[in-house]
Amino acid sequence: RKEVEQDPGPFNVPEGATVAFNCTYSNSASQSFFWYRQDCRKEPKLLMSVYSSGNEDGRFTAQLNRASQYISLLIRDSKLSDSATYLCVSFSSNDYKLSFGAGTTVTVRA
Amino acid sequence: ETGVTQSPTHLIKTRGQQVTLRCSSQSGHNTVSWYQQALGQGPQFIFQYYREEENGRGNFPPRFSGLQFPNYSSELNVNALELDDSALYLCASSSGTSFQETQYFGPGTRLLVL
């Protein structure tokens, strides 16, 4: 079983719509979580860190549910520029394990 | 641009050969992490270097080794290349080892093993 699992999508949404997707993690010792975005054939870039129960950054909201071991990302008012693959990451300092999911692809259409 | 550079951008090798990939970290960053990203997959953590020492390692065999230099640039060496080593190799620099600090990724080196 993979450490971090994501729905690969693709999620095809119109501009202005709201899209949300989850990732699940198997390591209960994980303390830190992140969302990265990766454009086609480009390097990953940090979108947001997820601490405590979650946080919000503009149109992006991340939530953490430790009991069910999942993290969600919600994008409001989608823009064409939001089209990318979103990578979910967990980190456990106990065993120094950093794990990326395979990514969820989002395509925003005009 | 992140300020993290990698070389070469592309490389073709044959099975059994050895390869060295290079990474220059962003100014002020003392930590470099290396990742392997196969097509359609997320990056897999290979190892991290902090102040010229290996600080953590993922599930990769010993034929994957690395170095970090006093200027914090880093090398990834892979011996006895296998076909499955074909991937995008990414390095990321940061100002600390805990992964709480933002990691800035370079553009990657695409390695093809024939």
Q: Does B25 touch chain A (CB under 8 A)?
A: no
pLDDT of residue B105 exceeding 80: yes
Q: Is A43 in contact with B41 (Cβ distance < 8 A)?
A: no
Residues whose CB falls within 8 Å of the CB of residue A42, separated by 6 or more in sequence, listed in order: B107
Shortest CA gap A15–chain B (Å): 25
Per-residue pLDDT band at A108 (split at 50, 70, 90): very high
pLDDT tens digit sequence for A10-38: 999 999 999 999 999 999 989 899 999 99
The confidence band for B104, taking pLDDT boundaries of 50, 70 and 90, is very high
Q: Give the pLDDT band of residue B1 (cuts 50, 70, 90).
A: low
pLDDT one-digit tens code per residue, B9-40: 999 999 999 999 999 999 889 999 999 999 99
Which of B25, B37, B46 to mutate to probe the A interface, most A CBs <10 Å? B37
Residues of B with CB below 8 A from A100's CB? Answer: 35, 42-45
pLDDT at B96: 86
In chain B, what percentage of residues exceed pLDDT 70?
98
Please indicate if any CB of chain A lies within 8 Å of the CB of B42: yes
Distance CA B84, CA B8 (A): 19
3 state SS for chain B? CCCCEEECCEEEECCCCCEEEEEECCCCCCEEEEEEECCCCCCEEEEEEECCEEEEECCCCCCEEEEECCCCCEEEEECCCCHHHCEEEEEEEECCCCCCCCCEECCCEEEEEC
pLDDT at residue B97 is higher than 70: yes
pLDDT digits over B46-77, tens only? 999 999 999 999 999 999 999 999 999 999 99
